[in-house]
Amino acid sequence: MIRIERVAEPPDFAKVRSKRLAEARQVIAKGDKIEFKDYAAVKRELAEMQHLKCCYCEKREETAENRDVDHYRPKVPYGWLAWTWENLLFACIDCNRQFKRNQFPLSPGDIKLVSEQAPPGSERPLVIDPSARQINPSEEIKFRPEKVQGNQRWRPTGLTKRGLETIRVCGLDRPGLLNSYTDHVNREIRPKVDELLKSIKTGQPSALYKLWSRTKRQLLRPYRPFQALSLDALDHLVKPDIRTHHNLPLP
């Protein structure tokens, strides 16, 4: 998971919010169910803000139209935030529907927001909001290799309670993703690292620096999948002493 820089709310969305909330309040008064709709106006905007990647697992999702708008604070019970721009993210179907759903764990002793109350109140959520300014997801979740039946596999680990809960709630260690992470390291990162280590033995310092810059550009550009994993894998595979010795900085 990486930090998402939130862009400004699309101009027409305030109108959508007023209309939908007014309707929702009438529906609640009658004891009926709220219809959560009218997200077409923000779907493309959110997807582009996130470089077409799921906000939780960083899998690339090419067609925004078929994917979900994720409500950071779930529609149930936080219906009054269902059309609040800061509460909306773009997520893959697996993270959103199979795992996160209506889960929103809070820290022990927290008092849940009451209807119409603006967040955060006294809530200290245990799910990372990747678009929150004061949070850096990479300080809370790190990818590490582990050995499974003689093979190396990459897995996210929580460094904080919130990191651990985010992994659990969003299913960031589900088998399909563990395979994707490991494939990504083996196919995209290892060949570049092997080339780099070979060139340390044989090459010129300037050529080495160019190769390192190219590797970082290719793996860490915002629209590349699994950017957080790429950073942690580079950090692990090109050891800090080698990076310091050859002046190969990592962001």
Residue 81 beta carbon to Zn ion: minimum distance, rounded to whole angstroms = 21
Residue 74 beta carbon to Zn ion: minimum distance, rounded to whole angstroms = 16
SS3 content of the chain, % helix, strand, coil (to 5): 45, 10, 40
Q: Which is nearer to Zn ion, 51 or 243 (CB)?
A: 51
169 near Zn ion, rule: CB under 5 A: no
Q: Which is nearer to Zn ion, 42 or 248 (CB)?
A: 42
Binding mask 13-42 for Zn ion (x = CB under 5 A): ------------------------------
Tokens of 44: 């493309």
53 phi, psi to nearest 5 deg? -120, 145
Whether 141 contacts 3, CB under 8 Å: no
Selected binder of Zn ion within 34, 42, 47, 92 (CB under 5 A): 92
Q: How far apart are CA 64 and CA 70, in angstroms?
A: 12
DSSP 28-77: HHTT--------HHHHHHHHHHTTTB-TTT--B-S-GGGSEEEESS-TTT
Selected binder of Zn ion within 1, 6, 56, 227 (CB under 5 A): 56
Residue 55 beta carbon to Zn ion: minimum distance, rounded to whole angstroms = 7
Residue 171 beta carbon to Zn ion: minimum distance, rounded to whole angstroms = 8
4 near Zn ion, rule: CB under 5 A: no
Q: Which stretch binds Zn ion (CB under 5 A): 95-103, 123-131, 139-147, 224-232?
A: 95-103
95 near Zn ion, rule: CB under 5 A: yes
DSSP 116-148: TPPS-TT--BSS--TT-TT--GGGTEEEEEEEE
Tell me which residues in 57-76 interact with Zn ion (CB under 5 A). 57
Q: How far apart are CA 230 and CA 162, in angstroms?
A: 22
Residues lying near Zn ion in the complex (CB under 5 A) are found at 54, 56-57, 92, 95
